[in-house]
A and B are shown apart, each in its own frame.
Chain A
Amino acid sequence: MLQSTVHADMIELTYRDAVREAIREALRRDKRVFLMGEDVGRYGGCYAVSKGLLAEFGPERIRDTPLSESGFTGAGIGAAMAGMRPIVELMTVNFSLLALDQILNTAATVRHMSGNQFGVPLVIRMATGAGRQLAAQHSHSLEGWYAHIPGVKVLAPATLEDARGMLWTALQDPDPVLIFENVMLYNMTGRIAVNSGPINIDKAAIRRAGRDISLITYGGSLWKTLEAATALAAENIEAEVIDLRSLRPLDDATIITSVSKTRRAVIIDEGWRSGSLAAEVSTRLVEQAFWELDAPIGRVCSEEVPIPYPRHLENAAIPQASKIIAAAKAALGRA
């Protein structure tokens, strides 16, 4: 499902493997790097991302923590300020709210408040999104909230290459970087080049070129959007699919260029509609490309309910290809 332009040996692996390889590479390349979080050691991570790393790197560098997000995120911030390059894993974005004070009031502000004397070169990884029947306390998509905060960068790797390549680049950043891994992607299988490596973290990517409408999305919704684009193509609607990749900062240029070409846009965002990242993207389009538009900007977001537990309700609550197709057709007057 993924094409790489690199003419090298290809290997088949899962998104989970790609994240693990990225962590392993970072641990090997830089002695200052260590992984810390709930169940990342002996249990191998709740999504099995860090499986085997404790045996390979030892308890100094693969650290199980108490169930205290605020505590170990704060420890990560302190370590980063003191010269280490910690990777903190938060089990899900829902639990990250317990560490929100550390992230927002400390990590994002220290450089500003210390007059540039201290920085926090910290990477925080966390799982996000619905679809695994984990109910309302484990399934939300709050990355849009984090994208609101100046002082942090927010990434959403949706492909194997990005899962493999974004971590190292994030670790080189002098400021906090938050990486959101959609839970539905961990089992995704694909082939990537053996020598896949670090990759830029500030550009959106066009995953499919098209002339009729821009479908702007990120993370787990990317694959549903590509599925919708394929279905639309069968009805002679050529959709351009943009993967934002970085939610903060947003790559305005890529979005504006695309919509200036297609003149229509639908934004697909698993967050709730009100005050969503989709709302921010939409506003930027209106601010910067109003005179290019041929139709009102559409949004496909999650229904404004706590994510339900039953499978059929959970699926109905979040963006699906059928909703994306309907929104695209509405923008084109082909409903």
Chain B
Amino acid sequence: MVEFRMPSLGADMEAGTLVEWLVKPGDHVKHGDIVAVVETQKGAIEIEIFMNGEVRQLLVGVDKKVPVGTPLAIVRTADEIKAGVVAPVVLAGPTIQPQVTPTIIQPLVSGPAPTLPLRSAEPPSGARRIRISPAARHLAQKRGVDLAAIRGTGPDDTIIYADVERSLVGVAAPAERKHAVGIDLDAMRNAIAAAMARSKREIPHYYLEHHIDVTKTEEWLARTNAVRPPENRLLISSLATKAVALAARRFPAFNGFYRNGKYEPANVIHVGVAIAIRGGGLAAPAIHDTDMLSLDQLMLQMRELVQRVRAGRIRSSEIADPTITVSSLGERGVDALYGVIYPPQVAIVGFGKIVKRPWAIDASVIPRSVITITLSADHRVSDGHAGALFLAEIGKLLQEPDQL
């Protein structure tokens, strides 16, 4: 048996509130499954499990706030199942009874509501069937209420609308809020404040900027997109992200974590993409193995990520994993932006908007499309010389888009 624990979703996270279980005892899980939703200062985050097996027991109830590292569930691993291990689970701490396990299984607000299993509402043989009015059934389905846990007060003990409504008082109201908004903007602002203050306090930043002629890149992009439907078109931001990922392969001093007084270069490249959230706020979740993705795959993932982040659903691995961050303000942005490094990362690359500028080629000045790339890097780990080579490499890669 293995304990599944409250993960750390960032250096500044001390505790999280479990707001939703997406599995129940008896469910089989596999590596990468989303098993729970945890509320942190960054919003509601989907928690993945990184083992294969069967959920034996849930140890923490909904709406409980527990410190990082607290066992959340007991999982019987696939090996144990194979070996026939059936040792009973004996552990301290509260045990969650199956009937109070919420049966909400939908990850998003949109789309058809799930059909709620009404197992316990079905009669054991010979028992009378529990009556549920259409209005009560409809409300329960909409709000994810397990009707089996409700006592009916209607005629013949029928569960009526008011009964379900009563069961929602104080329980579903906060859940409803989270589902509707997904992100507590005040809490997120506090989290950004803490992380950025720590960054500026601890990390000696140095800054470089580099102007790149991307006229040919723009032309390539226009040609490529001309034959694609709108939903498959590439944006310059995907090229930029890929270029940073490839450059980071050659310059490991910008891809990794500075922890406990020393630098640990990462052996994978997970580029964090800064995404602005409507109403204020910012998240920079990771795109895993960015350097291994084709431009199309990368673009697809970026689109999906932006949508999910704005709906308030970020996965735990995406929050904890970025090894370097890219920030691009796009067309509505400014000429250049200098990022603040997200600790414990050691670099952030900024892309300004593309502008037409007078550009000297040989002896003549002609208008070209120019982008300003900046680097903010941790001087404890690298120096300006290495940073300059890193930026130059990004610029070079960006001018050969067909090689990205």
Contacts and interface: CB of A to CB of B under 8 A. Distances in A.
A295 B160 CA distance: 8
Contacts of B373: none
Contacts of B138: 291-292
Contacts of A330: 155
B154 interface: yes
Contacts of A295: 133, 154-155, 158, 160
Contacts of A332: 155
A335 B155 CA distance: 9
Interface string B142-162: 000000000001111010111
B135 A293 contact: yes
- SS class, residues of chain B in contact with chain A: helix
Contact of A292 (B134, B153, B154, B156): B134
B239 to A, nearest CB: 50
Contact of A293 (B134, B155, B156): B134
A263 interface: yes
Nearest to B160: A294
Nearest to B157: A333
A289 to B, nearest CB: 9
A290 interface: yes
A214 to B, nearest CB: 13
Contacts of B135: 263, 291-294
Interface residues of A, number: 12
Contacts of B136: 294
Interface string B107-141: 00000000000000000000000000111111000
- SS class, residues of chain A in contact with chain B: loop
A292 B133 CA distance: 9
Question: Which of B135, B136, B153: most chain A CB closer than 10 A?
Answer: B135
Nearest to A331: B155
Contacts of B153: 333
Interface in A287-335: 290-295, 330-333, 335
Contacts of B137: 291
Interface residues of B, number: 14
Contacts of A294: 133-136, 154, 158, 160-162
Contacts of B156: 333
B192 to A, nearest CB: 43
Contacts of A291: 134-135, 137-138
A321 B370 CA distance: 84
Nearest to A260: B135
A173 to B, nearest CB: 38
A294 B134 CA distance: 6
Contacts of B155: 295, 330-333, 335
Nearest to B155: A333
Nearest to B138: A291
B275 to A, nearest CB: 38
Interface string A235-268: 0000000000000000000000000000100000
Interface string A31-58: 0000000000000000000000000000
Interface in B149-197: 153-156, 158, 160-162
Contact of B134 (A290, A331, A335): A290
B391 to A, nearest CB: 60
Nearest to B139: A291
A332 B161 CA distance: 12
A292 B136 CA distance: 8
Interface string B57-96: 0000000000000000000000000000000000000000
B133 A293 contact: yes
A221 to B, nearest CB: 24
A213 to B, nearest CB: 12
A61 to B, nearest CB: 55
Nearest to A333: B155
A332 B156 CA distance: 11
A335 B154 CA distance: 11
Contacts of B162: 294
A209 B138 CA distance: 25
A332 B158 CA distance: 11
A29 to B, nearest CB: 49
Contacts of A335: 155
Given A291-B134, A294-B133, A263 B158 contact: no
A290 to B, nearest CB: 5
B130 to A, nearest CB: 15
Contacts of B154: 294-295, 333
Contacts of A292: 134-135, 138
A105 to B, nearest CB: 41
A332 B137 CA distance: 17
Contacts of B161: 263, 294
A291 B136 CA distance: 8
A333 B162 CA distance: 13
A292 B162 CA distance: 12
Contacts of A293: 133-135
Interface in B2-51: none
B266 to A, nearest CB: 53
A156 B135 CA distance: 32
A290 B154 CA distance: 17
A57 to B, nearest CB: 55
A291 B132 CA distance: 11
Which 7 residue pairs are nearest across A and B when measured between Cβ atoms? A333-B155, A291-B138, A294-B133, A294-B160, A294-B135, A293-B134, A333-B154
Interface of A: 263, 290-295, 330-333, 335
19 contacts: A263-B135, A263-B160, A263-B161, A290-B134, A291-B135, A291-B137, A292-B138, A293-B133, A294-B135, A294-B136, A294-B160, A294-B162, A295-B154, A295-B158, A295-B160, A333-B153, A333-B156, A333-B158, A335-B155
Interface of B: 133-138, 153-156, 158, 160-162
Given A263-B135, A291-B135, A294-B160, 18 more contacts: A263-B160, A292-B138, A293-B134, A294-B134, A294-B136, A294-B158, A294-B162, A295-B133, A295-B154, A295-B160, A330-B155, A331-B155, A332-B155, A333-B153, A333-B155, A333-B156, A333-B158, A335-B155
